[in-house]
Every structure is written in structure tokens, then in C-alpha cells.
Chains A and B, each alone.
Chain A
């Protein structure tokens, strides 16, 4: 089946089997391996991507054809012009990653959270990230990273 998806602002058209999962479409058909597959059963959240700007979805539990005509944001699309996204900077500054395997999913789930809530409480962040597992167990720093990013993004544009 023909699938047409806009990923990180770039248009991709591919011919896929109907059963192809979005995660494998991104990784194997589009060569975007920043999206990780941890459990393949929608438990771990490594594969989270953002659909249509605000909706965090687990790409292992969606068919590629369900993304037809939609916009997908993956971790490769977060940084702009060589500048880390505020979330990426937050994870860097707060040591929000250890092995890094869960990080793309953590970043994109947090990205969608901050689109919905610009000033989430710690409880809001933990609730939003409940479906993202970090087997290094670095949750405290992940929460701090999201808090830092939220504060950065709340600043007026141009302010440092």
C-alpha cells in the first residue's frame, strides 16, 4: 500500500505491507533510526513519536497506514539549525539520560506534554511519562530535565 507521511517536515512516500508498524516504517523504510524499539508491545515507550504536532503515540502499536496523510515528529526533528531543542538541552544539563535507549521516547512524550501544558507540576510530568520506562531508572533527573525545558520554553522568545 502507498503511504505518504510528512516526517520532520520532509515528505516520504513509500510502498509498504499493510501490517507494517509505524516504528519499522520510520526505521527501515525511511532510515530514521532515532526512534527506538524496546519492547514491541506498547509497554516501554522507547518508540514514542509525536503525530500532528501534539499527540504522543507509541509507533510500535500503530500501523504505518494509520499515519498516512499525517505529520510525524521524531527525535531527529527536534534540534533546529544545529541548536538543541530545550528538552534536549534539559536532558543534557540535568543528566537526564544514562544509556540513552529510552531517551527519544522520553523526549517526544515530554514534547507533547509541554504542548498541552506549559507549566506542568512534577506530578503532571510523572503521570505523562508513566508509559515510558527507563531501565537505568534515572527518573528523577528526567523529571528535572523536563522542568528545565518547560521553564526555558516559557521564557519570551529572544530572552536568554
Chain B
């Protein structure tokens, strides 16, 4: 979400992506759901996958003379579900830690594809490639979720600040990925 209800009268999803706060919500969601940002400049329009769009803290692939016009999110099919898990100090605050996950299932009960991303875990939101890879092709289980959670702990490189210590935020990254995966599987009616 973008901040609180009043800020959302003006704030937008694409604005949040362009702001690219290390602890923003939409950047992690865009990574997990493999969004593409539509950027237009005098040279024409280009579509930038979110991984390349998020360059560094508060900086994106939008060049001088360009403007982000929109974001495209792949439409999830019936075998796809996601979850966003966040710990925040107050309503609408930036994340102390957050995890976005999306899973797609095969008819045989194995995972077709997984998206796992963290916010407040580095210079900008990060994709947990290791978790995505170990989930793909497997049947959901408590052990699998624990392995993905451990991968998130390893991938998280947070900064200590008023919201918490590095140790605390890394711990949350693992916990929130596990909670997100459990909720996503539950939304699909899949036993995990």
C-alpha cells in the first residue's frame, strides 16, 4: 500500500515504484509478481522488467527526459496466489521488514513457478532467487517452506535503524516469507 488513506488520495503504485524506497511495499510486490514498468521519453516507449527497473535506493532505470507511465502485472491464473506480509510500527509506515510471495501450481500438485521478494532487506527490494529456485518443481511441505524461509534470511542484508536491528530484520524476513507462503498455499487450497 502507499502510506495512509489520505496520502493515497494522491499517491500511486507507479509513483511508489519510482520512489524506490528500500522499505517500500510495491517494489517487493512487483518483483514477486514479475511486473514490467512502461517508461516513455522523447526516444519512444520502452518496457523495463522490474528487476532492471530498481537500480539502487531511490533510483530507477528512468533516465532524464523520461517518465514512467504505468506498470504491467501479469494476470494471475486460477492456479496462482500470492501474499504480502509486513511488520510496521504504525499504519502506513515504511516496512520494518516485509515479504511478497506468489506461487503458481501445476495440476500434479507441484509448484510451477514462485516469486519471492523482500523489502527493507537491502539497498532496494530484493528477489530471493534461491527461494524461488528451490520451490519450483517441488510439492509444498513444511520443510520446503522452512528452506525458503532460510534462503530469505540469508538474502536479507538490512540496515539497522529506529525500526530494528539487523538481526531482528533478518529474522523477520525469514518469518514473513514462511507466513506468506503458507497463506498463498492456503488461498489455493493446497496442503503445505
C-alpha gap A58/B10 in the complex (Å): 8
C-alpha gap A109/B4 in the complex (Å): 12
Q: Does A42 belong to the interface (CB within 8 Å)? A: yes
Q: Does A131 belong to the interface (CB within 8 Å)? A: yes
**For chain B, what secondary structure do more than half of its interface residues adopt (helix, strand, loop), or is it mixed?**
loop
Q: Report the nearest A residue to B4, measured CB to CB.
A: A131
A-B contacts counted at CB < 8 A amount to: 35
Task: Annotate A22-59 by CB proximity to B: 1 below 8 A, 0 otherwise.
Answer: 00000000000000000000100100100100011110
B6/A56 in contact, CB under 8 A: yes
Task: Annotate A119-155 by CB proximity to B: 1 below 8 A, 0 otherwise.
Answer: 0000000011011100000000000000000000000
Given contacts A57-B10, A130-B92, A131-B92, A42 and B3 within 8 Å (CB-CB)? yes
B7/A42 in contact, CB under 8 A: yes
Q: Report the nearest A residue to B6, measured CB to CB.
A: A131
A56, A127, A130, A132: the one contacting B9 at CB < 8 Å is A56
A61/B5 in contact, CB under 8 A: no
Q: Does B162 belong to the interface (CB within 8 Å)? A: no
B5/A131 in contact, CB under 8 A: yes
Q: Does B91 belong to the interface (CB within 8 Å)? A: yes
B residues near A56, Cβ cutoff 8 Å: 6, 9
B5/A57 in contact, CB under 8 A: no
Q: Report the nearest A residue to B93, measured CB to CB.
A: A43
Q: Does A3 belong to the interface (CB within 8 Å)? A: no
C-alpha gap A61/B16 in the complex (Å): 14
B4/A130 in contact, CB under 8 A: yes
Query: Which residue of B6, B7, B9, B91 has the most chain A CB atoms within 10 A of its CB atom?
Result: B6
In chain B, residues 81-138, which have Cβ atoms closer than 8 Å to a Cβ of chain A? 91-92
Given contacts A130-B91, A130-B92, A131-B92, A58 and B7 within 8 Å (CB-CB)? yes
Task: Annotate A55-78 by CB proximity to B: 1 below 8 A, 0 otherwise.
Answer: 111100110000000000000000
B5/A48 in contact, CB under 8 A: no
B residues near A48, Cβ cutoff 8 Å: 6
Nearest-CB distance from B92 to chain A (Å)?
6
Could you name 21 residue pairs across A and B whose Cβ atoms are closer than 8 Å? A42-B3, A42-B7, A45-B4, A45-B6, A48-B6, A51-B9, A55-B9, A57-B10, A58-B6, A58-B7, A58-B10, A61-B7, A61-B10, A109-B6, A128-B5, A130-B4, A131-B3, A131-B5, A131-B6, A131-B7, A131-B91
Binding site for B on A (CB under 8 A): 42, 45, 48, 51, 55-58, 61-62, 109, 127-128, 130-132
